[in-house]
Amino acid sequence: MRRYRHVGYTLILAASTLTLVQRLFSMFPVGWPGFALLLLRASVAMALLLGAAHRHGVPPWITVASLVVCAGLIAGFLTPIAAAIALGLHVLIWSSLGVDNLGSAAIICVDVIALALLGPGAYSFDSRRFGRRIVVRTPP
């Protein structure tokens, strides 16, 4: 049995689940920081769309996978995992068609890694699913 004082209740067998979710989604900031994370998610999705849709010679399955990942990024669904997949798709596109500009490729990599490490923010599906909740316990 482990006691999490910052959460406020005792966990018996679900301790590993809570720790995993807290590790994957560290926080869900609201206000301007949450809006900035929404913009970061949108910029990563737009960069992936531009890389997949506007280059000739991209296989159709990469384009479809990019559209699915972009929808997940915009909605904020499993954002760190979607960001890792987006980076993998970028690498696939760059390895098959070459890199147009190393500077923009480096900026895209930094943006995707920052998004994966920071998380989705308050304005996302992840926030609704895994966000902090207030549990009100009625007296017996």
Each residue's pLDDT tens digit, 53-62: 777 788 888 8
Query: Where along the chain do its domains lie?
Result: 27-130
Q: What percent of the chain has pLDDT over 90?
A: 19
Range from 56-65, 66-75, 102-111, 126-135 carrying the lowest mean pLDDT:
126-135
pLDDT interval class at 133 (50, 70, 90): low
Average pLDDT over residues 125-137: 75
- Reading the block at residue 19, the tokens are 């720790």
Torsion, Cα of 103, 109, 114, 115 (10° steps): 120
More confident site: 51 or 5: 51
Instruction: Say whether pLDDT at 138 is over 50.
Output: yes
pLDDT interval class at 13 (50, 70, 90): very low
Whole-model pTM: value is 0.71
